[in-house]
Amino acid sequence: MFFHVKELQYTAKPSKPDPVYAKKLQEVLGGQYGEISVMMQYLFQGWNCRGEKKYRDMLLDIGTEEIAHVEMLATMIAQLLDKAPVEEQEDAAKDPIIASVMGGMNPQHAIVNGLGASPNDSVGFPWTARYTIASGNLLADFRANLNAESQGRLQVVRLYEMTDDPGVRDMLSFLIARDSYHQNQWAAAIAELEEKEGIVVPSTFNREYEKSDVAYTFMNCSEGTESQQGRWASGPSMDGLGQFTYEAKPVGTGQAPELSPAPGYIHGTPTTKKQ
Amino acid sequence: MFFHVKELQYTAKPSKPDPVYAKKLQEVLGGQYGEISVMMQYLFQGWNCRGEKKYRDMLLDIGTEEIAHVEMLATMIAQLLDKAPVEEQEDAAKDPIIASVMGGMNPQHAIVNGLGASPNDSVGFPWTARYTIASGNLLADFRANLNAESQGRLQVVRLYEMTDDPGVRDMLSFLIARDSYHQNQWAAAIAELEEKEGIVVPSTFNREYEKSDVAYTFMNCSEGTESQQGRWASGPSMDGLGQFTYEAKPVGTGQAPELSPAPGYIHGTPTTKKQ
Amino acid sequence: MFFHVKELQYTAKPSKPDPVYAKKLQEVLGGQYGEISVMMQYLFQGWNCRGEKKYRDMLLDIGTEEIAHVEMLATMIAQLLDKAPVEEQEDAAKDPIIASVMGGMNPQHAIVNGLGASPNDSVGFPWTARYTIASGNLLADFRANLNAESQGRLQVVRLYEMTDDPGVRDMLSFLIARDSYHQNQWAAAIAELEEKEGIVVPSTFNREYEKSDVAYTFMNCSEGTESQQGRWASGPSMDGLGQFTYEAKPVGTGQAPELSPAPGYIHGTPTTKKQ
Amino acid sequence: MFFHVKELQYTAKPSKPDPVYAKKLQEVLGGQYGEISVMMQYLFQGWNCRGEKKYRDMLLDIGTEEIAHVEMLATMIAQLLDKAPVEEQEDAAKDPIIASVMGGMNPQHAIVNGLGASPNDSVGFPWTARYTIASGNLLADFRANLNAESQGRLQVVRLYEMTDDPGVRDMLSFLIARDSYHQNQWAAAIAELEEKEGIVVPSTFNREYEKSDVAYTFMNCSEGTESQQGRWASGPSMDGLGQFTYEAKPVGTGQAPELSPAPGYIHGTPTTKKQ
Amino acid sequence: MFFHVKELQYTAKPSKPDPVYAKKLQEVLGGQYGEISVMMQYLFQGWNCRGEKKYRDMLLDIGTEEIAHVEMLATMIAQLLDKAPVEEQEDAAKDPIIASVMGGMNPQHAIVNGLGASPNDSVGFPWTARYTIASGNLLADFRANLNAESQGRLQVVRLYEMTDDPGVRDMLSFLIARDSYHQNQWAAAIAELEEKEGIVVPSTFNREYEKSDVAYTFMNCSEGTESQQGRWASGPSMDGLGQFTYEAKPVGTGQAPELSPAPGYIHGTPTTKKQ
Amino acid sequence: MFFHVKELQYTAKPSKPDPVYAKKLQEVLGGQYGEISVMMQYLFQGWNCRGEKKYRDMLLDIGTEEIAHVEMLATMIAQLLDKAPVEEQEDAAKDPIIASVMGGMNPQHAIVNGLGASPNDSVGFPWTARYTIASGNLLADFRANLNAESQGRLQVVRLYEMTDDPGVRDMLSFLIARDSYHQNQWAAAIAELEEKEGIVVPSTFNREYEKSDVAYTFMNCSEGTESQQGRWASGPSMDGLGQFTYEAKPVGTGQAPELSPAPGYIHGTPTTKKQ
């Protein structure tokens, strides 16, 4: 069960309205790597957690913190939209700066949301649950989480550079720091699990059942061999179980496929003798 | 530019048709972590790559390999659908096993695709480009890639357990091995980049601009302190720049938000004196 | 800011696993009128609220309660999936009941979610933010909320009839009661606002600017006049400002449209003299 | 069956082209609460109607009228796009006003639709059938309809304020009046049904099966008790069957969930002794 | 403006309920090539039509007919769902045939739609406006229409084979005949336009501006030259303006791309000397 | 299996950056009729092909070529985004031209993609697999392909007119020529198949089972008879098997539908005696 307190986790006050920036800031609220994504991802990972209790508790802690981040961003966006100039006014239309603001806004902020935040990204695409993963395998999922915090911090940093409003920057500097911690956090949790399970997810599949001869080979499917220069092309593999090799000219070993004709009731292209 | 050869990268021949399994196998073709996702993700990361040439080349190598995986899965699914019993037949309807097969199929495999594979997942949801990321920051993106290969291998392993068709298992054992390699590959590439840039993405943001006092703190936003037992709650941080701390009772330090009334032309709820 | 306690708002324990029912129950978790929808809708209405404080507080109260409902349903679904028979087993395949369960499950529950709940509906379609509304006009939004609780209770009641598991029914009887209250709640809030503002939303638009001659008229655009028998076709209007009338044979009063040819750079169909 | 007449239901002629406004007007054509939504919703409710004939007839009347509204908006948008300056021209690019128009347009209006309307909203998101509901319960659905007409009129009113084109405003004043009537209409139909069935939908579920002790209680899940001031927190309930009460400090009465480990073939996180 | 008459365009009465078939039939109602798609496509092409009046009139004729097809299918589906066994009943659960029906249904038909049709396809994916096109170029669009009627008739024919219900087959035989006509219709309209404009759309682009040396060449981008056997590989081109040629070994003539480093504020991967 | 060479199929170098145009160009990369659509459509048609080998080979040839077109467009877009002015700068904000560029960009190009291309269209909507078709009937699918190349060339031509950058126009003139060829190619392949199978798809359905009396009739469902002037309204039908006729006043011959009440467990609207 959940409870709400009135205070935001951190201050969210812009120095002045900026409806064009409000549109951009939606990305880290309702985008692929926005706060709604991590909120939902961590909560579902926690609720579905069949592993040690400390993981469930930790996932629900951070999932609950992310609801507070969604709240801060929604509050910030609503204030950035204060007094947005959407009304038709003879004078406004003549002022190129106001006209530019009117043109650069997300029209739904005015028409649909009445100057409020919405659970969409910076191009107005709605948040979708296909952004999240809760697989039941914590090592896999913590890698998803580390990625989400990496992409998320990158996006917030870019948004930080796109404004010079001190109030907005103050709030973003808080979110950036939390993303720094959360990258550290997932890196720590991954290290803990990799120590037990090794690098390859899932660790419980009997590796005798995989084609071991292609399990450590880089396949150079394009011209040029610059790709041979990386750590992935030679030396011991990261899981310590093999040696990286580089296949410069991979060859297809499978069949050249030929499919049977479809049964008549499918009404595919009629077969002819030439085939 | 790209070229095609007729041979599949590896054999893709089921021992017998199984249209119900064909529906399930769609997950790793057109699902969130299916082969289309990694194909598109690696190709776009490669095409957009502004970093060292070896990364661009490597990304296009693996992206090109993934097209071959899509091809193998599509070919396998088409054969699993061979002679699927979709036609109305008095006799078939009375056989519970055939009836069960007819009910368990994806109806679109017959109606829309004429017994062919489609770029959808196992519940028929179409592949969407929002599954992919190419951020311009390779360390962030390689983490996305490591996650994708982890989730992907996990799903293929589960599908391996759901069939005992030797032909299908043979092909899956190839894909599982490639996913093992690709997890090793991204782990190697990440290690290479982390050595240069450190743990926290992006490495180029001046960390003086973030709220350093919350950059190493776990916030216990839920009851109970099981979450204190993890590596993330104490000891040196993974980036080597701080000490993890555990805040058992975090407090909101922001304002209790109060928004200004909307301008009249927004026609929000009329304000009254009681407010 | 938000906090979590470990206890669910109400008990969520099925008497036995039932993966086919788990698929159906997803509808009221991640469907159009599921708990995620009301959770997000109430929270965003609360965060964006520019009206009286009691409304903001009330919206955040109920939005926070709905997170707990999401939690209960996710927990229930994970347990309904316990030990789901997805593994290939010679014997299982021969038992028609087990085969039927394997066929009736959502394949993603096993392949993607590892026997956990997901933020999708009963056909696997992902939750999308386009299910929600926060318009800035509370009377409009409370009508959306009353509808959501009506559709939601209807769906939960139908799901109640589809199982006879006492544990599941116990939890649903709690959710049904909360939906009863919430319908009452929104009806009460609507009554309060309609008393101040009248029936027609938004109340602040100057009604002189609308075509008053069609503001109280039912237009019979289909054959037959059964539609004349309703309360909407005669008597005083609900807003007390007009008399309902019934136009038995409405006529188009607008132009028969003729569009100008497109400019050449659009490369539309070339115009010819016959036009 | 349906028939078309050439005249629009009401005049749809802008005084001058305005491609930037055309983009915004798309919201009430193809958006969540646009005319396509109500057209489809009323038609499907009518076609699926298993209740009294007057409801089926009425739903098909209004559904058919809404097709005419879609037609008027499409016609208006096509004319607003007349002669839109999308062609590359040295001179145009230098004129900031023309440049601003070119930048503020929806690019698909030119590239995809050749200066025609499209079934999308104001940010270009396509209309989706998930916007509609036809539940088989008319009281539930009429509440959906009242909400749709409330949100719809609110959006049209906002769009009215965003233009001073007399032709556009004339057409919008017609649509606003029809939305006024339709709000009255649904309010009347709801009153008629509530008189028979009461407030709580569905009325036919045996209320002994719900947890009656939580059916009239507001739960204060957030700090502060401003929410106690509303009509929903005390006094007789709207359905006349109970008394509203206010639970200031609700407590979770359910279990603290613990899930069983997943079976081996799921390859979840391996369990360890610490759990 | 539009009007409705009570009679369906053609009889839509199943001989008996069949909820599993109802799920499948949704494909041609709300699928990619279902009746909603052609209804919306023809209406928007008509409303946006800037060409000769006969085209606008014809498009609105057929668009209006398609609304009647949507109506017939919705009516049929609702009747196929009559008395669907969704209620929990001890006895039913034991009967494998009833169990199979319960498992094979679309769960939303019961939970969401109360045994009514919905604007979704056979896997429950909602109809989306991205299925339609109205480009402003009639020759292009009539080709889209010919394709839609071809795919549509193919799907209806497949559905015809999947049932032996005489009532359903009767209605489908009507739809199949209309699709036959509509294929003929679009073929006729295309022939008319191609006679004026030629094969290549759009006809108004100055062909001197295209790279004429690759305008008639088949490029053999895959191994093997079976593709040389087709009409497209030799002989006069279909537009009568060139000769088809076959390039057996095409070569990339463009640059090997190298992108500039991103500016610092993008925080891409830091450049190093090795590049 | 596939291989990549470093050289693009044709040069893709803009003369100067233009981030606003980059946003528009996304339409033909990731839009409904963009290069990703044809790439996926041709590859899946090829992989699923159960017809003559020359068709499979040809489909994989052209599908493989389209990957190269995706590559060229992605490369072009990345370069158009070079040095895009997204950073906050006091001076830039004052320059209306720079401000206009900043406002006209797709914000995700900077925030999400770090100045790279993305698999989305010109309004940021993600590419979806529902854009494609592979039906198993080649004549149907080749019509889809001819339409795709027609819409595609139309869109590229419009984009050609929207820029005067010689580098961009050079690349587009290549793509336009390939689209010219591909229209010729599909027209040739269609002619080949129509010669064998006739006009109506699928050719294998026994035409005695369709309602032949409506198989050659135009139904004038709207007022006015301009639609009688077309080739589709009189003369021999295109399939040579009938005569076109024109039904000036079509009449519904089906029933006026009446649905049975829903069973009690559906909780639809309660029936009353008035019905």
CATH of the domain at C188: 1.20.1260.10
Q: Tell whether E7 is covered by a domain.
A: no
- Stretch among C67-81, C191-205, D117-131, E82-96 having the lowest mean pLDDT: E82-96
E181 vs C: CB within 8 A: no
Q: Tell whether E238 is covered by a domain.
A: yes
- Stretch among A96-100, B180-184, E43-47, E111-115 having the lowest mean pLDDT: A96-100
Convert the pLDDT of each residue in E198-243 to its tens digit: 999 999 999 999 999 999 999 999 888 999 999 999 999 999 999 9
Which F positions 128-167 lie with beta carbon below 8 A of chain B?
128-130, 132-137
Supply the pLDDT for residue F54. Answer: 95
Clarify whether residues B217 and B132 are in a common domain.
Answer: no
What one-character-per-residue DSSP string does E162-225 give?
T---HHHHHHHHHHHHHHHHHHHHHHHHHHHHHHHH-SSSSTTS-GGGS-GGGSSEEE--BSS-
Clarify whether residues E129 and E222 are in a common domain.
Answer: no
Asked whether the beta carbons of residue A265 and residue E161 sit closer than 8 angstroms, the reply is: yes
- Nearest-Cα distance to chain A for C174, in Å, is 14
D267 vs B: CB within 8 A: yes
Convert the pLDDT of each residue in C33-45 to its tens digit: 999 999 999 999 9
Strand pairing category for E245-247 and E217-219 = parallel
Clarify whether residues F51 and F123 are in a common domain.
Answer: yes
The rounded distance, in Å, linking the Cα atoms of B133 and A263 is: 41
- The rounded percent of chain B whose pLDDT value lies above 90 is 88
**Mean pLDDT along residues F88-116:** 80
Supply the pLDDT for residue B33. Answer: 98
E48 vs D: CB within 8 A: yes
- The rounded percent of chain A whose pLDDT value lies above 90 is 88
Q: Is the pLDDT higher at E89 or at A200?
A: A200
Supply the pLDDT for residue B270. Answer: 86
**Mean pLDDT along residues F10-24:** 96
Query: CB–CB of F35/F172 below 8 Å?
Result: no
β-sheet bridge partners, residue E3: D3
Chains touching chain A, criterion 3+ CB pairs below 8 Å:
B, C, D, E, F
Reported as a pLDDT band with limits 50, 70 and 90, residue C48 is: very high
Convert the pLDDT of each residue in A1-32 to its tens digit: 999 999 999 999 999 999 999 999 999 999 99
Supply the pLDDT for residue D98. Answer: 74
> If we measure between CA atoms, which residue out of A41, A160, F90, A67 comes closest to residue B211?
A160
Clarify whether residues F160 and F24 are in a common domain.
Answer: yes
Asked whether the beta carbons of residue B222 and residue C112 sit closer than 8 angstroms, the reply is: no
Convert the pLDDT of each residue in C85-114 to its tens digit: 877 665 665 676 777 777 789 999 999 999
Q: Tell whether C184 is covered by a domain.
A: yes
Clarify whether residues F109 and F242 are in a common domain.
Answer: no
A99 vs D: CB within 8 A: yes
How far CA E268 is from CA of A176, B50, B113, B268, F211, in Å, comes to 16, 8, 42, 42, 64
CA A55 to chain centre: 21
What six digits make up the tokens of D255?
A: 């279990």
On the question of pLDDT at B256 being above 70, the answer is: yes
Instruction: Give the nearest chain F residue to B74 (CA atoms).
Output: F47
3-state secondary structure of A2: strand
What six digits make up the tokens of E45?
A: 């092409």
On the question of pLDDT at F274 being above 50, the answer is: no
Strand pairing category for C2-4 and A245-247 = unpaired
The rounded distance, in Å, linking the Cα atoms of D230 and C185 is: 9
User: Average pLDDT over chain A, rounded to whole?
Assistant: 94
The residue range of the domain holding B213 is: 207-247
Q: Tell whether F69 is covered by a domain.
A: yes
- Nearest-Cα distance to chain F for B140, in Å, is 11
The rounded distance, in Å, linking the Cα atoms of F263 and E85 is: 9
Q: Tell whether C141 is covered by a domain.
A: yes
Clarify whether residues A143 and A215 are in a common domain.
Answer: no
Q: For chain F, how many structural domains are there in total?
A: 2
- Nearest-Cα distance to chain A for F86, in Å, is 6
Convert the pLDDT of each residue in F216-264 to its tens digit: 999 999 889 999 999 999 999 999 999 999 999 999 999 999 999 999 9
On the question of pLDDT at A235 being above 70, the answer is: yes
Say what the ipTM of the complex is.
0.95
Supply the pLDDT for residue E98. Answer: 74
Q: Tell whether F220 is covered by a domain.
A: yes
Which residues, including other chains, have CB under 8 Å from residue F94's CB and lie 6 or more apart? none
Q: Which of C7, C10, C45, C47 to mutate to test the interface with A (most CBs of A within 10 A)?
A: C47
Q: Which of D2, D87, D111 to mutate to test the interface with F (most CBs of F within 10 A)?
A: D111
What one-character-per-residue DSSP string does D75-137 give?
HHHHHHTTT---S--HHHHH-HHHHHHHHHS-HHHHHTTSS---SB-TTSPBPBGGG----S-
Supply the pLDDT for residue F147. Answer: 98
> If we measure between CA atoms, which residue out of E53, C247, C230 comes closest to residue D65?
C247
The rounded distance, in Å, linking the Cα atoms of D10 and D176 is: 12
On the question of pLDDT at B48 being above 70, the answer is: yes
Reported as a pLDDT band with limits 50, 70 and 90, residue D89 is: low
On the question of pLDDT at D192 being above 90, the answer is: yes
Question: In three state form, how does the secondary structure of chain F look?
Answer: CEEECCCCCCCCCCCCCCHHHHHHHCHHHHCCCCHHHHHHHHHHHHHCCCCCHHHHHHHHHHHHHHHHHHHHHHHHHHHHCCCCCCCCCHHHHHCHHHHHHHHHCCHHHHHCCCCCCCCECCCCCECEHHHCCCCCCHHHHHHHHHHHHHHHHHHHHHHHHCCCCHHHHHHHHHHHHHHHHHHHHHHHHHHHHHHHHCCCCCCCCCHHHCCHHHCCEEECCECCCHHHHCHHHCEECCCCCCEEEEECCCCCCCCCCCCCCCCHHHCCCCCCCCC
How far CA F116 is from CA of F23, F77, F80, F81, in Å, comes to 11, 7, 9, 7
Pick from D53, D88, D205: which is nearest to F163 by CB? D88
Amino acid at residue number B130: R
Consecutive H or E run containing A43: helix A35-47
Angle between helices E53-80 and E35-47 (to 10 degrees): 160
Clarify whether residues C140 and C173 are in a common domain.
Answer: yes
The rounded distance, in Å, linking the Cα atoms of C128 and C131 is: 6
Query: How long, in residues, is chain A?
Result: 275
Supply the pLDDT for residue A75. Answer: 98
B249 vs A: CB within 8 A: no
Asked whether the beta carbons of residue B265 and residue D161 sit closer than 8 angstroms, the reply is: yes
Reported as a pLDDT band with limits 50, 70 and 90, residue A86 is: confident
- Nearest-Cα distance to chain F for C159, in Å, is 10
Clarify whether residues F224 and F95 are in a common domain.
Answer: no
B246 vs A: CB within 8 A: no
On the question of pLDDT at E171 being above 80, the answer is: yes
Convert the pLDDT of each residue in B78-104 to its tens digit: 999 998 887 766 566 567 677 777 778
Clarify whether residues A123 and A223 are in a common domain.
Answer: no
Supply the pLDDT for residue F98. Answer: 73
**Which residues from C are below 8 Å from B269, CB to CB?**
50-51, 55, 136-139, 193
Q: Tell whether E139 is covered by a domain.
A: yes
Reported as a pLDDT band with limits 50, 70 and 90, residue B275 is: very low
Q: Tell whether A253 is covered by a domain.
A: no
> If we measure between CA atoms, which residue out of E35, A124, C128, E145 comes closest to residue D128?
C128
| Burial status of residue C8 (CB atoms within 10 A of its CB: 0-12, 13-18, 19 or more) | buried
Reported as a pLDDT band with limits 50, 70 and 90, residue A275 is: very low
The rounded distance, in Å, linking the Cα atoms of F197 and F219 is: 26
User: Average pLDDT over chain C, rounded to whole?
Assistant: 94
**Mean pLDDT along residues B105-111:** 96
Clarify whether residues C188 and C212 are in a common domain.
Answer: no
Clarify whether residues C160 and C70 are in a common domain.
Answer: yes
3-state secondary structure of A226: helix
Q: What are phi and psi of D143, to 5 degrees?
A: -65, -40
Clarify whether residues B214 and B189 are in a common domain.
Answer: no
Convert the pLDDT of each residue in C126-164 to its tens digit: 999 999 999 999 999 999 999 999 999 999 999 999 999
Supply the pLDDT for residue F83. Answer: 84
Reported as a pLDDT band with limits 50, 70 and 90, residue B253 is: very high
